[in-house]
Structure 1
């Protein structure tokens, strides 16, 4: 319908991508939790023989932060279309960054291990989730933390340079991918709209109406079949361009006059089909009068062309619990519309 319907914020491809990101986060943090537990146990060569008090504290902090991030990942994976998803994602980046910075700062300060390359991991995580801006902000945060917490490191310049390159490469690539995904989503929505809507008026086509009606099985349904009176004369007198403008104007008027919950579609030519779910005889009769009055109003087609046309309406009603499908109801409405036209010509 014209001016109705909202494009979903998250489509199937975006939903799948978000769930994949959350699954990867869960898997990597679960591995991190295992490695941290092994690191704390001292049973392998992964850690020094004796952990400093600060490192023991950091390890416990890491276990808590990664567990909390995993809880957020589960929420995000289960609700990838939620309005809160960006918040859950940002919080995970924050927790991951604090985890990595704390571990790197203490290990670089207290031991001979080289752990600063892990800072690039936090930048990459931010890039995947929040493109270039996320990578840039995380680079600034991790770099500032490294300079402040490991002031005597001889590798500071190298750390900052490597982190900057990671942010630029990962951030730009993630942003480019996000733009490509957005373009593909827009193209798919446009193609879907073209397949289900009339190109001239923007109203749903027969395929869309069939799909919509199939969801109303068993409920009361009113069907109106409209055929314009005088449309051929407009085409013959003023040309097809004027006729097209008239059809578009009629589509707008029919949609507005139908009222809330009504779906208007174009079958082709100057025929329109109106579906009124849940409507009884009284509501259908009232809708018919509104539509007749709306279409009868003079239509300004531009270039000084003002025309007035009428409409013949055929009605079919399905009571609640009825089994008639849209094809049968349309045929019934078509027969009623034909009888109205014949009566009009005979008058």
Structure 2
């Protein structure tokens, strides 16, 4: 049995993920702003946070840090505004790189030039990478910070301790972030599945009446063609071959309607053997052409398996709304229903 496939684009980023991304960017903006203030205070030597006299290398490190943190904050503002964009992962990754460089430079220079213990800041790099890019990001940050510390502070007596603490931080933070991301993905998939069930027919996969109503509401004021379809001979298929065969026929009809409708059309199932096709922007000519394609598609013999091949027909009622018209879907469907009834009556009288 062929699967009914829609013509929808890939679903947008889930609202919960977009909200989480914005929260991450907001936290980063606040923490970096605090970092900018503390760096300026450190450079000024007005508190006990820093030695009274900074080395030239430390002054350069602080200046570089101010520049990189400012650049990262600009990226964070952009990422927060485009939390659902396909560019977000790249913006996030660049921020991780800039933050890591900032902290590595500050830590390695201060550990080398002064008797200050600043290496715990390396854990901040790892935590940031873990939050943004789960376990893989945490491990990459651990490798980068550890390699920099070993190479740039070769005489530190704390090297083994630094590497051990950093490794534990990467594993714990990365694993937790990965687990959370997986849970969030599962919740998103469940939410999308429930939303699909609420707006689509369970048998055919076509949009249901609720979905069609919502879609039509977005077309208010525009031209709209409505086709209401009822299968001729469906009851005989059910009575002769059973409801399972009838269900397979409905699914096959759904596939054919989706294919025959053409680009821009939306086919849905109202229930039983009734279907509805919406043609946004269509005029009388386009509607008539669609009716012809639908009739041709439905009357083709349908192989339902188990050696069962059936042929059914279709009665179609048509309603048209010109651009600027005010008729809603209920009114148009009622008009199409009347036309479909007249066609059925004419067929029976023939």
Q: Per the shorter chain, which TM-score range?
A: over 0.9
Question: Match of 1:56?
Answer: 59
User: Residues 3-23 of structure 1, C-alpha deviation per residue, up to 9 Å, x if partnerless?
Assistant: 321342411111111111111
**TM-score, structure 2 length as denominator?**
0.98
- Superposed CA RMSD in Å reads 0.8
Per-residue CA distance 1:232-286 (angstroms, 9 max, x = gap): 0000000000000000000000111111111000000000001111111111111
Matched, 1:15 2:18: yes
- Structure 2 residue aligned with 1:110: 113
Alignment partner of 1:318 out of 311, 317, 321: 321
Q: Distance in 2 between matches of 1:283 and 1:250?
A: 21
Per-residue deviation, residues 14-63 of structure 1 (Å, max 9, x unmatched): 11111111111110000000000000011111110110111111111110
Query: What SS does structure 2 have at the residue aligned with 1:216?
Result: coil
Q: Which runs of 5+ in 1 are unaligned?
A: none
How many residue pairs match? The answer is 347
Q: Distance in 1 between matches of 2:124 and 2:12?
A: 29
1:303 aligned to 2:296? no
- Deviation track 1:122-160 (CA, whole Å, cap 9, x = no partner) reads 000000000000000000000000000000000000000
Residues 1:259 and 2:265 aligned together: no
CA distance in 2, matches of 1:2, 1:210: 20
Which 5+ residue runs of structure 2 have no aligned equivalent?
Answer: none
The more displaced of 159-168 and 315-324 is 315-324
Aligned to 1:204, the other structure's residue is in SS state coil
> Of 3, 6, 10, which aligns to 2:6?
3
1:118-157 correspondence runs (5 A)? 118-157=121-160
For the residue of structure 2 that corresponds to 1:68, the secondary structure is: helix
Q: Select which of 282, 285, 292 maps to 1:282.
A: 285
Give the one of 231, 234, 256 matched to 1:231: 234
1:41 counterpart (41, 44, 50): 44
Secondary structure of residue in 2 paired with 1:117: helix
Please give the residue correspondences for 1:68-79 in structure 2 after superposition, counting only pairs within 5 Å. Answer: 68-79=71-82
User: Quick one: which of 210, 229, 233 aligns to 1:207?
Assistant: 210
CA–CA distance in structure 1, aligned partners of residues 14 and 269 of structure 2: 27
TM-score (norm 1): 0.99
* Residue 186, structure 1, aligned to residue 208, structure 2: no
Which whole-Å CA distance do the structure 2 matches of 1:232 and 1:6 have between them?
36
Within 2, Cα distance between the matches of 1:346 and 1:8?
48
The offset of 1:85, in angstroms, is 1.1
DSSP-derived class of the 2:66 partner: helix
